Amino acid sequence: MTTILSISGLTKEFGELRAIDELDFQLEQGTVHGLVGPNGAGKTTLLSILVGLRQKTHGNIQYGVSENRVMLLPDTPDFFPFLTTREVVDLARYPFRERVDIGAVDKVIAEVGLEEAVDRRVGGFSRGMKQRVGLATVLISEPQLLLLDEPCSALDPFGRREVLDLVSGLKGKTTVLFSTHILSDVESVCDSMTVMNKGRVLYDGPIDAFTNSDTQSFEDLVLDLLTTDSNNQGEK
């Protein structure tokens, strides 16, 4: 398998606080990789650094693809309220207009289930609908590495299922780094995962290897790992 993203010794400091602490991590092409951890684990900071919205303190990041094929969907996407869904997605297409045809706009909008809201202004949309528009804006750019920051956090169970199916459908075509704290989502769509706490990696590997237990559920295993780490940190 080809490595699409390779991170070594990545550190991000905000004054005294180390949000990411000597992170080493690799991502294989075509996989859906979960990034799991509690609030403050450093997931969003990591994703922001990967797309250049924040600057690393030190460490190396190497991409196996062109950096303009890396796209991020933030956890609470927001758009110009005076534009319609079609206009927002078309604006997102504009920088990639040489490789993405205008016809793709409506196709992507249908893919995320917003056909009926195609000509409605996004200003009045619910968080869930904005999340779908957000998905459309990242999919239109045909990314090779897609970074999703808690994409299901604002969605109802049906919407969540649709997004998870959409992410599953990207397997093999696009590499997805999927940040979430909904553990069941990771178990259902991801091939591999990284568990983070306070900027450090606690586990990095396939889901199967992690759940190799008959007695404990996936969620219990993750929670145990995080609790043990937090206790160890407290003792230090």
Partner 1 sequence: MNLWKVELFHLLRTWRGWTLSGVFLLASLLAVLIGFLIHRSSGSSFTYDQTLDLYTLLAWPALLLWIGIAASSFAIDSNKERSVFLRLRFSLAEILVSKSIFYFALAGTLWLAGFAITFLLGLVIYDGSHQINLGWFLWGLFFFLISGAFSTILILFCGALFRGAVASVLVVLGLNLGIPLIASLLIFLELLIRGLTHTPPIEWETVSYIARGLLWWPPATYDGVVFMSVTPSEIATDTNISIGQALELDPYFRMKPLISSVILMPAMVLFGWHRYSKREV
How far is residue 177's CA from residue 32's CA, in Å, rounded to a whole number? 6
Residues 7-66 that bind partner 1 (CB under 8 A): 48, 51, 53-55
Question: By CB neighbour count within 10 A (0-12 exposed, 13-18 middle, 19+ buried), where does 116 fall?
Answer: exposed
Q: Which amino acid is at 213?
A: S
Among 27, 90, 199, 201, binds partner 1 (CB under 8 A): 90
Cα radius of gyration rounded to whole Å, the chain: 18
Residue 77 sits in the site that holds partner 1 (CB under 8 A)? yes
Q: Give the phi and the psi of residue 99 in degrees, each rounded to 5.
A: -110, -15
Contact letters for partner 1, residues 132-151 (x by CB under 8 A): -----x---x----------
Residue 112 token pair: 């995320």
Type of residue at 162: E
- Smallest separation, CB 101 to partner 1 (Å): 14
Q: Does 76 bind partner 1 (CB under 8 A)?
A: yes
CA distance 47 to 179: 9
Beta carbon of residue 94, minimum distance to partner 1 (angstroms, whole number) = 5
Selection from 77, 104, 78 nearest residue 90 by Cα: 104
Minimum gap (Å) between residue 102 Cβ and partner 1: 10
Contact segment (CB under 8 A) with partner 1 among 17-25, 88-96, 182-190, 215-223 equals 88-96
Binding site for partner 1 (CB under 8 A): 48, 51, 53-55, 71-72, 74, 76-80, 82-83, 87-88, 90-95, 121, 137, 141
